[in-house]
Amino acid sequence: MSLIIEHLIIHSLRQDDNGVLKADTRSQELQPTADVQEWVEQLHRIYQQKGNKSYACFLADTEQPENPSPFPQLFQQYLDKNLSFVDFTHQSTTVLLAQLNHYQYPDEGVLIFCKYQFVGVDYILLGLLDCETSVTLTEQLELSQIKYIDLSKMQLVARVDITEYQTNTDSRRYISFIKGRIGRKVSDFFMDFLGAAEGIDVKLQNQLLIQAVNEYCQQVPMPADEKAATKKKVADYYKEQSEEGADIAVKSVAEYLPKQSDGGDFYAFISEEYDLDEEFPVATTALRKLTKFVGSGGGLNISFDEKLLGERIAYDAQSDTLTIKGTPPNLKDQLLRMLKARQ
C-alpha cells in the first residue's frame, strides 16, 4: 500500500474523579516504525471502506455561529507552517475537550491525529477511538490483561482531504466523516468542533442515480435478460469504485446503458430529469434497489431479486397480494416445524 506517514500523534482522554474529561497529551510524535505503518494502513483501509460516511466543508464567514470553532483557523495556521503539528494537535484537543464536556459526552478513549499521503493525496485524519481490554497469554503461560485500540468501532472520525481543500476552492466535500448510529447530537457536536457543515448528501445522490437507472431501463425497450445484464454492469462499476475509494461519475454510468430509439442517452435523460452532481462518493447501500425489490412494514421484511418477479413471484395489484412459489428451504423448515407443533 502506497501510504506515507508524515506525522502521527496520539493523546488520551480520561475522566477525573468528578466525571470531567481531561486530556493526557504527548509532547512528541510517534515514529513510523513497521508496526506503526501497519496500524495506520489498517486504520486507513477500514476508514476507506466505511459505507456510512458523509461529506462536509468549513463554514463560510457569513455562516459562522456566534461562537465559531477555532479549528479551521488552527488547521490553516498549521498548513501555513505557523503552527507545528504537535501544537496544532494540542490546541485542537483543547477545543474538542471543551465540546465533549459541553455536550456531556463522557466517553474516554484515545485521540489520534495523523497526517499522511496516499496515492499522491495529502490527508489529515483525526478521531476519538475506543480503548478495549482483552486477555493475553504471557511467555510464562500466565493470563494478563492488555489494552488495545478498537478500530472496528469508529464513531467519531473525520478526514480532511488537504489536496482537495487547497486546489478546489468551490469544493463542498473535502471533509469526510463517519455518520454512525450514535445519535444526531453526537454528529452535531463533532461538526461544531470542526466548524463545518454537510456540503453534499451522498446517500440522496446515490439513491437518485439508482432511481434514474431503474426508470431509464423501464423506458428503453430491451429483453429482461439484457436489462438484468445492464444493471449488473452498473452494480459492478459501483463495486469497483467503492473498492478503489473513487467517485461515481454520471457520464461513466451512462456508458453502461443503451441509447433510446431517438438516439438520446442516459446522460441526457438524467440531466433533464434529476438534479445530480457530475461526480459524488459511493454509497453502496443504494445498490440494493438496483437489482432487488425491498420493503418492510407491519412486521414484514421482504427482499427478492428483481428477476424473480413474474417467475417465482407474482404480484396482484387489485388484491394487493404477493405470491411466492418455492419458499426458501430455511424458511420452509421453520414453517413446517411450527405447523407440526400446533397440531
* Grid cell for residue 123: 490527508
pTM of the model: 0.74
Kindly list the distances between the CA atom of residue 316 and the CA atoms of 103, 296, 308, 320, in Å, as whole numbers in the listed order: 52, 18, 15, 6
Q: Are the beta carbons of 13 and 100 closer than 8 angstroms?
A: yes
pLDDT tens for residues 143-194? 888 887 888 877 789 999 999 999 998 898 999 988 655 545 556 778 889 9
Q: What's phi and psi for 140, nearest 5 deg? A: -90, 10
State whether residue 317 is helix, strand or coil: coil
One digit per residue, the tens of pLDDT, for the chain of length 343 reads 689 999 999 999 988 888 788 899 999 999 999 999 999 999 999 998 887 788 899 998 667 777 889 999 999 999 999 999 999 999 999 999 888 887 777 677 899 999 999 989 999 999 888 877 788 888 888 888 888 788 887 778 999 999 999 999 889 899 998 865 554 555 677 888 999 988 888 888 888 999 999 999 988 988 888 888 899 899 999 888 888 778 899 999 999 999 888 888 999 999 888 888 888 888 877 777 787 888 888 888 888 887 888 888 888 888 989 899 988 888 888 888 888 888 7
Listed residue (159, 165, 155) closest to 194, CA to CA:
159
Alpha helices in 20-82 (DSSP H): 34-49, 71-79
Contacts of residue 21, Cβ cutoff 8 Å, sequence gap at least 6: 13, 14, 15, 97, 100, 101, 106, 108
C-alpha 124/C-alpha 186 separation (Å) is 21
Confidence (pLDDT) at 338 = 86
Q: Are the beta carbons of 74 and 92 closer than 8 angstroms?
A: yes
C-alpha 190/C-alpha 204 separation (Å) is 22
C-alpha 110/C-alpha 177 separation (Å) is 17
Confidence (pLDDT) at 30 = 96
Residue corresponding to grid cell 500523534? 9
Strand partners, 54: 177
Q: What's phi and psi for 201, nearest 5 deg? A: -90, 90
Output the DSSP codes for 194-222.
HTEEEEE-HHHHHHHHHHHHHHHHHHS--
Q: Are the beta carbons of 160 and 168 closer than 8 angstroms?
A: no
Kindly list the distances between the CA atom of residue 223 and the CA atoms of 11, 184, 195, 260, 329, in Å, as whole numbers in the listed order: 60, 45, 52, 14, 30
Instruction: Count the helix, strand and coil residues of the chain and give each as a percent rounded to the nearest 5.
Output: 40, 30, 30
State whether residue 135 is helix, strand or coil: strand
* Grid cell for residue 109: 478513549
Helix axes 202-219, 266-273, angle to 10 degrees: 120
Which of the 8 DSSP states describes residue 120?
Answer: T
Instruction: Please compute, for residue 336, the number of CA atoms within 13 A of its CA located in the half-sphere on the CB side.
Output: 7
Confidence (pLDDT) at 187 = 63
**Whole-number CA gyration radius for the chain:** 25
Confidence (pLDDT) at 277 = 87
